[in-house]
Amino acid sequence: MLLDVRDLKVRFHTLRGIVRAVDGVSFSVNYGEVLGLVGETGSGKTVTGLTIMRLLDENAEIAGGEVIFEGKDLLKLPMSEILKIRGRDISMIFQEPKAALNPVIQVGDQVAEAFLAHESMSKEEARERVLDMFRKVGLPDPERIYRSYPHELSGGMAQRIVISMALALRPKLMIADEPTSALDVTIQAQIMNLFRELIREFNTSVIYITHDLALAAEISDRIAVMYAGRIVEVARTEELFENPLHPYTVGLLRSIPGSKSSGSRLFSMEGEIPSLLNPPPGCLFHPRCPKRMDICDKEVPNLLNVGNDHLVSCFLYGR
């Protein structure tokens, strides 16, 4: 096992109170595996990824849990050790590619920083490595792109730059946070094809964060479904689509146009994710759940293995 997240809890201290953004999240990632982390906006997916990278804002508090990466708890390591791991062993692709790039530095130099920071090589050697990565991600005229600034690139080009930066040192784990959300459908398909090819070539494990279950299905070996800061279901991708168990997962699948679960009319889940400032008691999905029972607003169900490594947090399947 490459990564093992155990009972992770993250709080944000705000003027309005404490936000329980991640509340007891547990999941694992195996070597060479792509795990899809899926849920609506505000479910805690991005915060989970940033916590693994130790990139949380100053008002954040890691209130509990462990993030075990190759036997070491990343939450207990000094920042000097984390800086050695970032980029080399664990990398991240952020949601907005152009926002992730420094607007006043040529993009080639920005990618070269990864080589210069973690490997002993000259600037010219780093430059050649960058040009080779640009070729791998399908950028035309790598020499010209190297000298370009972010504002001179299209969204698709900027995303290829960010992917090349994340994969530059062949990391063992890459966290991809909505990497195609800012792109149009045609470019999105191109980037997804490129992404799949590169992670196979580099044998990199991936946490693929998205709100789009259909997109996650294209690339993920397993999918973990998050709701309001908690994992509610985990299963292999085929199993999840064939046999969804949690009512929230069923609702997400029914919301996919053209899916077997959607029926003749597009389904829309009632309600919205509860406020994590003042969350309801018990299972946080119960105010929206069509199958809620009396116990649901009193207790939190455990994440249980119901067979075939299919985990679900719902009283319909036990406590």
* Interaxial angle between packed helices 123-136 and 107-118, expressed in degrees from 0 to 180 and rounded to the nearest 10: 120
The pLDDT of residue 97: 81
Q: Give residue 95's pLDDT.
A: 81
pLDDT at position 261: 59
Q: Where do the domains of the chain lie, and which CATH numbers do they carry?
A: 31-54+79-275+306-310 (3.40.50.300)
Looking at every residue in the chain, the average pLDDT score rounds to 92
pLDDT-above-70 percentage for the chain: 97
The pLDDT, as a whole number, for residue 58 is 93
Q: Does position 45 have pLDDT exceeding 80, yes or no?
A: yes
Instruction: Please tell me the number of Cα atoms within 13 Å of 5 on its side-chain side.
Output: 24
Q: Is the pTM of this model over 0.85?
A: yes
pLDDT score recorded for residue 264: 59
pLDDT band at 287, cuts 50/70/90?
very high
Length of the chain: 319
280-317 as b/e, with b when 16 or more CB fall inside 10 Å? eebbbbbebbeebeeebeeebbebeebeeebbbbbbeb
Looking at residue 227, the DSSP 8-state letter turns out to be: E
Does 266 score more than 70 pLDDT? no
In contact, 159 and 181? CB cutoff 8 Å = no
pLDDT at 155: 85
- Weakest mean pLDDT among 5-9, 181-185, 307-311, 314-318: 181-185
Of 28-32, 39-43, 62-66, 270-274, minimum mean pLDDT range: 270-274
Q: Is the pLDDT assigned to residue 3 strictly greater than 70?
A: yes
- pLDDT of amino acid 260: 61
What are the pLDDT digits (tens) for 131-158?
Answer: 999 999 989 999 999 999 999 998 889 9
Categorize the per-residue pLDDT at 85 as very low, low, confident or very high, splitting at 50, 70 and 90: very high
Q: What is the mean pLDDT of residues 201-211?
A: 93
Give me the residues paired with residue 67 across strands: 5
Confidence of residue 267 (pLDDT cuts 50, 70, 90): confident
Q: Is pLDDT at 181 greater than 70 in this prediction?
A: yes
pLDDT at 188 over 90: no
Q: In angstroms, rounded to a whole number, what is the distance separating the alpha carbons of residues 9 and 51?
A: 10
Lowest mean pLDDT among 86-95, 169-178, 183-192: 183-192
Predicted confidence band of residue 182 (pLDDT cuts 50, 70, 90): low
Contact 26, 35 (CB under 8 A): no
Do residues 222 and 234 make contact, with C-beta atoms less than 8 angstroms apart? yes
Distance CA 156, CA 161 (A): 9
Supply the pLDDT for residue 258. 65
